[in-house]
Amino acid sequence: MRFGAKILFEDVSTVFLAGRRYGLTGPNGAGKSTFMKVLTGETDPQKGAVVRPKRLGILRQDQFAFDAFRVIDTVIMGNKPLWDALAERDALYAKPELTDDDGMRLAELESVVAENDGYTAESDAAVLLDGLDIPEPLHERRMSELQGGQKVRVLLAQALFGNPEALLLDEPTNHLDLESIHWLQDFLIRYAGTLIVISHDRHFLNSVTTHTADIDYQTIITYTGGYDDMVLAKMQIRSRLEAENAQREKKIAQLNEFIARFSAGTRSSQVMSRKKEVERLQTSDLAKSNIQRPFIRFDMKRPSGRHPLEIKGLVKSYGGPEIISNFTASVSRGEKIGILGRNGVGKTTLLRSLIANAPGADEEKFPVDGGVVEWGHEVQIGYFAQDHRGSIPNGTTVFDWLQEIDPQAGNEELRGLLGQMLFARDEGQKPTSALSGGEAARLIFCKLMLKKPNILVLDEPTNHLDLESINALNIALQKYEGTLFLVTHDHDLLEEVATRIWRLDGSGQVEDFKGAYEEYQAAVAA
């Protein structure tokens, strides 16, 4: 498959075996989603063929395709033969009178329904929906009444319904909270068919996958093990090839030296044999990897005071029940607070309530209903909004916007910063309105690195980032010496960065656990 002069992958022959769970990896733009579309049949390959099992479970990306249907019916549609049989059966039963042919057809349809576990279809679908945090009162609602994140979970249940022979999931953890991700991990580990999954969640891939199919070097190479195993094996293979090439080049240089010295003399037979040896030893050109790693480093202009934040009796509602009820906490300099909770419980609301009047936070005012939020001495806030695209104005370029943020920064400093975040030299002139989700996220990181705040407030910063960028962010946050407030559904990021946990339970209460995420999980399990 190629687009113009760009080859995504060429002459690929690979088999995905039953009982194995494959992570499909590769940097943004390598062709993961395109390859997935070739596997599902949505896109035809430009050359070659794909053999598929009869029953495929596919995570649909179009959230609006099923708006007219009930939630429970949308899930059952994941088994097309069953859904078609149920629809035809109901149409026949709705007739005022049945002919003999109708009766025979009904018997055939009942057989199809029985073969596909149709008599327990609604209860089976309900179990999937409950696991993905779609409560029972929503099961009878129309899909059009659900929020975006809820729709994604229903479509995930649709892909999982009816035990398909193969499951093809493109970013199934998007819009899922940690509890739903952990449920999905457990479900997929028990799944007996062939799984192929694209994900930018390293912990999810390491937990679920038995093999990794990596798209790079214009081909697809399958490795045994999860994502970390693949990275290690790939590095070792690449290092070995580079070492072999270096050895060959050294040998070729010695042979060429002999040929140059004796080509005009009497040792012509030896010269000829060495020329043949040079031809045999010619080093193989190593294909260039598509992987690009950004360099993220958060410095501070100056540290904050020892107690950068005091919260006393914070209350916030939107006219109904309180989202945050009488929350009190004291934060010390250098603490890294991970903020947890199911989708919709108020994590973003809590962050916005905290930074409403914070120094250096240029967000719109966000009034609270009660309590006091006091920021301490020398505090400077850097904020990454969940809807970060709205933080970047249109009508300017990438370079000009950064220059507005810090007019004192020189051109070379700004270009260097953009280069660190994988913006090629001419991409500084790109209009901000044309940025992709990933580019917009990387540009916000440029802004934060330029401002050098001593408090970072990050609301789901890994959305739209590939695995290499998420790993770079993880390392940068571990090394950051300031104070951090972090909302994320990335397990590894929480586990490796957070030193304290705030968990919103949905009733307005915020649990405050002074310890790492692993310790918090152990305390909850006890």
Instruction: Calculate mean pLDDT across residues 70-80.
Output: 94
Residue 467 is assigned to a structural domain of this protein: yes
343 and 395 inside one domain: yes
Residue 200 is assigned to a structural domain of this protein: yes
250 and 211 inside one domain: no
Phi, psi of 96 (to 5 degrees): -65, -35
Name the pTM for this structure.
0.78
Q: Give the Cα separation of 500 and 483 in Å (integer).
A: 11
Q: What is the pLDDT of residue 33?
A: 87
Instruction: Calculate mean pLDDT across residues 116-129.
Output: 93
Residue 26 is assigned to a structural domain of this protein: yes
Residue 116 is assigned to a structural domain of this protein: yes
Q: Give yes or no for residue 275 having a pLDDT over 70.
A: yes
Q: What is the pLDDT of residue 210?
A: 97
DSSP 3-state of 189: helix
CA angle 483, 487, 492 (to 5 degrees): 90
Residue 472 is assigned to a structural domain of this protein: yes
Residue 127 is assigned to a structural domain of this protein: yes
pLDDT band at 362 (very low <50, low <70, confident <90, very high): low
Q: Give yes or no for residue 241 having a pLDDT over 80.
A: no
261 and 154 inside one domain: no
320 and 336 inside one domain: yes
185 and 239 inside one domain: no
Instruction: Calculate mean pLDDT across residues 417-430.
Output: 91
Q: Give yes or no for residue 71 having a pLDDT over 90.
A: yes
Q: Give the Cα separation of 366 and 91 in Å (integer).
A: 53
66 and 211 inside one domain: yes
Q: Give yes or no for residue 287 having a pLDDT over 70.
A: no
Starting at the earlier edge strand, list the strands of the sheet with 455-459. 381-384, 455-459, 483-487, 336-340, 500-504, 510-513
Q: What is the pLDDT of residue 265?
A: 67
Phi, psi of 362 (to 5 degrees): -100, 30
Which two structure tokens, joined as six digits, stand for 347? 């994590």
330 and 225 inside one domain: no
Q: What is the pLDDT of residue 290?
A: 64
CA 464 vs CA 3, 286, 385, 425: distances in Å: 22, 30, 13, 22
146 and 222 inside one domain: yes
Q: Give yes or no for residue 502 having a pLDDT over 70.
A: yes
Residue 297 is assigned to a structural domain of this protein: no
383 and 489 inside one domain: yes
| Of 429, 341, 435, the residue nearest 388 (C-alpha) | 435
Domain boundary among 215, 230, 245: 230
| Of 376, 358, 377, 382, the residue nearest 368 (C-alpha) | 358
CATH number at residue 146: 3.40.50.300
Domain boundary among 211, 230, 249: 230
Q: Give the Cα separation of 221 and 23 in Å (integer).
A: 12
**Overall number of domains in the chain:** 3
pLDDT band at 286 (very low <50, low <70, confident <90, very high): low
pLDDT band at 284 (very low <50, low <70, confident <90, very high): low
53 and 34 inside one domain: yes
Where in the sequence is the domain holding 469, given as residue range(s)? 309-525
| Digit-coded pLDDT (tens) for 380-403 | 999 999 887 778 999 999 999 999
Instruction: Calculate mean pLDDT across residues 434-446.
Output: 91
448 and 473 inside one domain: yes
Q: What is the pLDDT of residue 1?
A: 87
Residue 107 is assigned to a structural domain of this protein: yes
Backbone region of residue 242 per phi and psi (left: phi > 0; alpha: psi in -120 to 50; beta: other values): alpha
Q: What is the pLDDT of residue 159?
A: 92
360 and 474 inside one domain: yes
